[in-house]
Amino acid sequence: MEFLLQYSVFGSIWTIGAMLGAIISGKIADFFGRRVAMGFAELFCLVGWTAISFSQNAWLLDIGRFLAGYGVGILSYVVPVYIAEITPKNLRGAFTAVNQLMICCGGSVMYVIGNFTSWRTLALIGTIPCILQLLGLFLIPESPRWLAKMDKWKECETSLQRLRGANANISQEAAEIIEYTEMLKQLSDTGMIDLFQRKYAHGLIVGVGLMVLQQFGGVNAIAYYASAIFESAGVSSRTGTLAMVVIQVPMTLLGTLLTDKSGRVPLLMISATGTLLGCFLTGLSFLLQDLQLWKDSPLLALIGVLIFTGSFSLGMGGIPWVIMSEIFPINVKGLAGSLVTVVNWFGSWIISYSFNFLTKWISSAGTFFLFSVASGLTIIFVAKLVPETKGRTLEEIQASMVLFTRKS
């Protein structure tokens, strides 16, 4: 039991750091800008991975993982927001979803490398993307919408021109950004309590609801404990993790390509249906294994995990972050985005910490059946409450969210 506790703490302490990072992410991004927030986060990630690589005891491992999680907590908010604020409406969904594609590719590469190298070397390799992003921040412009919010009108237009191209006509887009920003400035300063006003209710319900359902579908239980799940099901962990990589990357790429073509809502519905099926098949495999009714149940577990992985990568992995970056107006985006991101990481902590205990208390089969129920609730939630944001400007989306709340 003591080992199980230590194992669960190490697996989940990343999410505790991420929660704390998410709490301040909006404030840092709103006060210092999107670029500074990303640079600040990467420093924590760099120190965290270095600490893990050179650790000589368990507590330093935990500190390193906590620091890396803290940095990722900030990045998980500010990166999709920055992307959404710099891209034109017809490409915004795909560009924001590319963030999830890159996360998927990075995780997949590390899964593969982890099969052939030591964990210390793996942690040291983790510092490379941190260094690359720190250097890359000097090459990208600040968000024009953030610059407009800070009354830096000339810098706003310069940034927008740089993003759209030297010969592009940005007059209409710049005017819309400035007009909307000026309108928002007529409102009083927004505090955390103000977020719970009725006009922001629909956005909060959608943002928080998607993040809760994303995590309670079991994604981080599978991501953090994939090897243990495969071994307990009787499947080679190396075979299982490599198969996950083969499925994950192309499905995430497909989701990225379809985000601005088919729309957010249809992809979420298909994705949630697939995760339901994947978790159900995995749970059924463990049940048949416990009852000793089918000798090929490990194959069913592998199929279930791969269906879950592919389906999640198609939509539920990236689209909640796309929608989160779109639905909140600039005057509450920092606070609302931080709250939604904290909820996501809190849900991730609950699942990653409790997963090993759940498999002992209600069995592995029962745990995966619970995850499939969460996916079923996701289908209903998306169908009833989530708006379609494809092909609309941020200003149009946010105005429609307020209008929806007034009518309901």
Nearest CA among 374, 384, 398 for reference residue 326? 398
Half-sphere exposure of 376 (CA within 13 A, CB side): 9
Q: Can you read off the two tokens belonging to residue 210?
A: 């998607």
pLDDT tens per residue across span 215-264: 999 898 887 677 777 777 777 878 888 888 889 889 988 988 888 888 89
Specify the 3-state DSSP secondary structure of 388.
Answer: coil
Residue 341: per-residue pLDDT: 87
CB 237 within 8 A of CB 227: yes
Q: Can you read off the two tokens belonging to residue 304?
A: 């279930």
- The helix/strand count (H/E) of the chain reads as 19, 0
d(CA 260, CA 337) in angstroms, rounded, equals: 22
Residues 120 and 212 in one domain: no
Q: Can you read off the two tokens belonging to residue 274?
A: 């697939």
Residues 86 and 217 in one domain: no
**DSSP code per residue over 244-284:** HHHHHHHHHHHHHHHTTTT-HHHHHHHHHHHHHHHHHHHHH
Residues 354 and 218 in one domain: yes
Sign of the torsion angle spanned by Cα atoms 357, 358, 362, 366? negative
Specify the 3-state DSSP secondary structure of 103.
Answer: helix
Residues 128 and 195 in one domain: no
Q: Is 173 within a domain?
A: no
Domain count, the chain: 2
d(CA 335, CA 269) in angstroms, rounded, equals: 28
Residues 46 and 194 in one domain: no
DSSP conformational letter for 225: S
List of residues 6+ apart from 178 with CB closer than 8 A: 148, 153, 156
Nearest CA among 182, 183, 159 for reference residue 170? 159
Residues 118 and 217 in one domain: no
- Rg (the chain; Cα; Å): 21
Q: Residue 5 CB: number of other CB atoms within 10 A?
A: 12
Residues in the chain with pLDDT values less than 50: none
Q: Is 149 within a domain?
A: no
Nearest CA among 307, 311, 306, 305 for reference residue 282? 305
Q: Residue 54 CB: number of other CB atoms within 10 A?
A: 12
Residues 206 and 322 in one domain: yes
Residues 322 and 262 in one domain: yes
DSSP conformational letter for 195: G
CB 338 within 8 A of CB 23: yes
Domain that holds residue 323: 189-407
Whole-model pTM: value is: 0.77
Q: Can you read off the two tokens belonging to residue 251?
A: 């499905």
Tell me the C-alpha to C-alpha distance, in Å, between residue 393 and each of 119, 121, 385, 398: 44, 44, 20, 9
Residues 332 and 398 in one domain: yes
Angle at 264 between CA 259 and CA 268, to 5 degrees: 110
CATH number at residue 211: 1.20.1250.20
Residues 250 and 376 in one domain: yes
DSSP conformational letter for 292: T
For 175-196, b/e burial (b = at least 16 CB within 10 A) is eebbebbeebeeeeebeeeebe
Residue 122: per-residue pLDDT: 93
**DSSP code per residue over 170-187:** -HHHHHHHHHHHHHHHTS
Q: C-alpha 389: how far from its chain's center?
A: 18
Residue 275: per-residue pLDDT: 96
Q: Is 378 within a domain?
A: yes
DSSP conformational letter for 313: I
Residue 260: per-residue pLDDT: 83
Residue 408: per-residue pLDDT: 59
Residues 252 and 385 in one domain: yes
Among 140, 175, 208, identify where a domain stops.
Answer: 140
Among 140, 155, 179, identify where a domain stops.
Answer: 140
Residue 3: per-residue pLDDT: 60
